[in-house]
């Protein structure tokens, strides 16, 4: 369970990232965070694994305040929160399997990892993860030989290999075309259901949020301005979150092609 209690975050240059955020995210939920760019979606997600640090309030992950974490506490927190990025962030010159095994680094001793001596069951787990996102045949290809959608699937496999409790996805489909976007979201949704992994996804496409989310959180200027199950959400809700009327480019489209 993740709880935000009166969380504020002000960046050193004075920009307000988060303003008085109060949220509870329960285990197993599939939450989509929507909002315009600069609304604080990334900041919200990155606070949970402390890539950024809120300046006040309390942030509880599994009932422990993570804002005081440093060093090994922080690394332990990060091993249980897997992250997926907009630009996949794979080591382009390394093979797919090496990239996927990197998800295991947090669970592997330093000396072992220097010599690439991953445990046998870790290698098995990595291969299993690749199979789950249907890309096992690319195991020995270099990461930069794959298409964007394939690279994002490899990065999902990397997160699966990490065996986290939470998945944080920061605009995972923003660099992909509509059919591939739906494929990636479908995998995330499937993993959420099969492994009961709490998943928080940042999106700015309204139609995709509606299609995949259990619950939608709307943000504007660092504040949570909407929080509710997807059944309560209408076009009017989005207009309120975005503070303007809905436009063509707020939609990803292509749902029928997936």
Give the interface with another protein as residue ranges (CB under 8 A): 49, 51, 75-79, 81-83, 85, 87, 89-94, 98, 102-103, 105-108, 110, 113-114, 155, 158-159, 162
Question: How near is the Cβ of 235 to another protein at its closest, in Å?
Answer: 34
Beta bridge partners of 54: none
Other CB atoms within a 10 A radius of the CB of residue 68 amount to 9
Beta bridge partners of 16: 10
Shortest CA distance to 41 belongs to which of 188, 205, 207? 205
Question: How near is the Cβ of 148 to another protein at its closest, in Å?
Answer: 14
What string of DSSP letters covers 175-205?
TS-HHHHHHHHHHHHHHHHHH--EEEEEE--
Nearer Cβ to another protein (11/246): 11
Distant-in-sequence, close-in-space partners of 63: CB < 8 Å, separation ≥ 6? 1
Question: How near is the Cβ of 12 to another protein at its closest, in Å?
Answer: 15
Other CB atoms within a 10 A radius of the CB of residue 88 amount to 23
Question: How near is the Cβ of 104 to another protein at its closest, in Å?
Answer: 9
Angle between the N-to-C axes of helices 178-195 and 148-161, in degrees from 0 to 180, rounded to the nearest 10: 10
Burial of 6-42, coded b for 16+ CB within 10 Å and e otherwise, reads ebebeeeeeeebbbebebebeeebbbbbbbbeebbbb
Nearer Cβ to another protein (92/193): 92
Shortest CA distance to 34 belongs to which of 182, 173, 219? 219
Nearer Cβ to another protein (3/95): 95
Nearer Cβ to another protein (47/182): 47
Nearer Cβ to another protein (87/257): 87
Question: How near is the Cβ of 246 to another protein at its closest, in Å?
Answer: 31
Question: How near is the Cβ of 151 to another protein at its closest, in Å?
Answer: 12
For the chain, count helices (H), then strands (E).
Answer: 9, 10
Question: How near is the Cβ of 67 to another protein at its closest, in Å?
Answer: 17
Other CB atoms within a 10 A radius of the CB of residue 238 amount to 21
CA–CA separation, 90 and 19 (whole Å): 32
Nearer Cβ to another protein (86/237): 86
Nearer Cβ to another protein (78/182): 78
């Amino acid at each position: 369970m993740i709880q935000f209690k009166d969380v504020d975050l002000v960046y050193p240059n004075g920009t307000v990232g988060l303003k008085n955020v109060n949220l509870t995210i329960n285990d197993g939920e599939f939450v989509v965070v929507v909002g315009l760019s600069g609304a604080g979606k990334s900041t919200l997600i990155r606070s949970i694994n402390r890539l950024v640090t809120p300046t006040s309030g309390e942030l509880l992950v599994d009932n422990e305040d993570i804002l005081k974490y440093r060093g090994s506490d922080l690394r332990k927190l990060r091993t249980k929160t897997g992250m997926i990025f907009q630009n996949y962030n794979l080591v382009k010159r390394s093979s797919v399997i090496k990239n996927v095994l990197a998800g295991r680094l947090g669970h592997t001793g330093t000396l072992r990892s220097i010599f690439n001596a991953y445990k046998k069951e870790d290698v098995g787990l990595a291969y299993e993860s690749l199979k789950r996102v249907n890309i096992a045949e690319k195991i020995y290809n270099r990461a930069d030989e794959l298409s964007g959608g394939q690279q994002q699937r490899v990065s999902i496999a990397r997160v699966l290999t990490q065996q986290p409790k939470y998945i944080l996805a920061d605009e995972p489909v923003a660099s992909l075309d509509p059919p591939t976007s739906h494929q990636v979201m479908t995998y995330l949704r499937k993993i959420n259901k099969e492994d009961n992994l709490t998943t928080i996804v940042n999106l700015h496409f309204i139609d995709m949020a509606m299609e995949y989310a259990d619950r939608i959180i709307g943000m504007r200027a660092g504040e949570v301005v909407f929080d509710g199950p997807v059944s309560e959400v209408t076009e009017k809700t989005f207009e309120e979150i975005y503070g303007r009327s809905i436009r063509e480019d707020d939609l990803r489209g292509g749902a029928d092609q997936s």
